[in-house]
Amino acid sequence: MLSVYPVDVVQELDRSNPLFVGHFFPLQGMWWRKRKQRQGLIISMALAWNRLVKKNKSNPGFIEEEILITHLTKQVKDARVILEHFFTVKRIGFNYGDSNKSPTVIAPRRLNKKTRDAIENIINEVHFAPGLPPKGKYTVSKVFVRRPNRSEVIAKLTETQRDDLIPPVSWLLDQTLTLEFYFEPSGKLQARDKSVWPIRSIELWPSWLRSELFGTVVDLENAYNQFIMSKLREKYKDDDKKLGMRYPDLFAAYTDKQQFRETLCTDFLRLPVEEDSLDVVKKLLMTLANGSNVTPGLIASGSSRSEAVRMIQENCPHLAPTELITLGRRLSSIAKQFASAKRDLCLYLLKERPTRKNQKQIFSLYFQWEREARHKIWNLANCTGLHLHDGVDGISVDNPETFAYDVLEQTGLQVKVIEHSQLRSCSTV
């Protein structure tokens, strides 16, 4: 999804500049405020075009990206005129509420050299312009901003082709240590929290960038499995022995996530216990939780229809056929436990038969649980931090270990607290 951030320039562009607003709209009768808004969006769209074209400079027309036009029209009502100057609209989107909506699909146009040069020259002249805070009912949260090395952050953004983030990041680094962010519920279930001001959708920024910019991070440990086990413990009235017998792998992951993942990593995937390897295990377990089919036969045959099998082929080409069969049996057992747990929760939480439709509702309940858990953490952190899907970024705590213990004691949630000022994990409860 293409994000377009509102920007401005210190001085009005020269009329000979291809990006000057007069080349897009007639200036006669145009109020200064509207002229400035249009000029800012023109520059924003130019920067977005520049970012996309870098993916394939020789054939930009083959690049397709999704965008929400409603985000643009909130800035400038006739934004589509500007959009179609830089992009070809392949499919117009719509939004009729609930799940009946679709984003617009666009492809970059081939611009002339004079316009391309103007875009390259203006990158260092623009600055972020958030505008006034919105009016209405929003969740307002204080966020603590760190002071990393500006030149290193800007250099990495350029290296990773995220030049579009340079203006808002530069603006952030020029502000006070504490900022107020406005959030609103989003998504079909209204279970996500999306930032709308001063920076829209900051929760979608790269994780390394958020790590550099913001303070302590609190993550829900093994969130989906934690949700399942917390509900199953309610059903089985905290009978851990019975729960451990019925769901041995899920229970082991719940009680000692790190040990469970390391065992899978070394004993079955034959990978070293490193961050990248553990990330593979994490994603593999999530595909099993989502219902990806995996059996010894599928893994041995290299079936491309299974996401779990595809991940194993990409990350474990060194495994022998006998090791693949052993791994298939192990993962099949875990997948069956996830499926059985969803059926169990259908009967317990929904009081309904475990049909495919009802099992999908378990994921809806998970997203609602996740939002409630996130807000519990946020409240304990004195209403500070950026709302992410599985935790909170940019809070201020005196002692990370004590805070993790307080969250466990007062809410029953297992969390991991990471102090970014030390760039290491400080506490895992």
Residue-by-residue DSSP string for 355-386: -HHHHHHHHHHHHHHHHHHHHHHHHHTTSBSE
The torsion defined by the Cα of 30, 34, 38 and 39, in degrees rounded to 10, comes to 80
The reported pLDDT for the residue numbered 79 is 83
Say if strands 415-419 and 216-220 run parallel, antiparallel, or are unpaired.
antiparallel
Q: What is the pLDDT of residue 100?
A: 64
Sign of the CA dihedral 134, 136, 138, 143? Answer: positive
Does residue 200 contact residue 181 with C-beta atoms inside 8 Å? no
Residues 359, 351: Cα–Cα separation, whole Å: 12
DSSP character at residue 214: B
CB 62 within 8 A of CB 48: no
CA-nearest of 306, 297, 295 to 330 is 295
Nearest CA-CA partner of 165 in 111, 109, 204: 204
The string over 271-280, giving b where at least 16 C-beta atoms fall within 10 Å of a residue's C-beta and e elsewhere, is: beeeeebbeb
Quickly count helices (H) and strands (E) in the chain: 17, 15
Q: What is the structure's pLDDT at 337?
A: 93
How many other CB atoms sit within 10 Å of the CB of residue 160? 12
Residue whose token pair is 């989906």: 224
322 by DSSP, 3-state: which?
helix
Say if CB 249 and CB 337 are below 8 A apart.
yes
Contacts of 106 (CB under 8 A, 6+ apart): 2, 64, 65, 66, 67, 83, 87, 88, 89, 90
**108: nearest Cα among 171, 45, 186, 182:** 45
CA-based nearest residue to 295, from 313, 279, 282, 308: 308
Question: Mean pLDDT by 10-residue block, N- to C-terminus, for the chain (429 residues)?
Answer: 75 87 88 84 87 76 81 72 89 70 85 89 80 87 86 87 83 86 81 85 85 84 91 86 90 91 92 90 90 85 80 89 91 93 92 88 90 90 84 81 88 82 39
What does the pLDDT read at residue 424?
A: 37
User: What pLDDT does 383 receive?
Assistant: 87
Q: What angle do CA 338, 341, 347 make, to 5 degrees?
A: 150
**What is the reported pLDDT for 331?**
92
- Nearest CA to 382 out of 370, 394, 395, 373 is that of 395
Report the pLDDT value the prediction gives residue 98, as an integer from 0 to 100: 55
The structure tokens listed for 13 are 């562009």
CB burial readout 400-410, b (16+ within 10 A) else e: beebbebbeee
Torsion sign (Cα): 265, 268, 271, 276: negative
The amino acid that residue 251 corresponds to is F
Please tell me what DSSP assigns to residue 332. H
Output the pLDDT for position 428. Answer: 35
AA letter at 117:
D
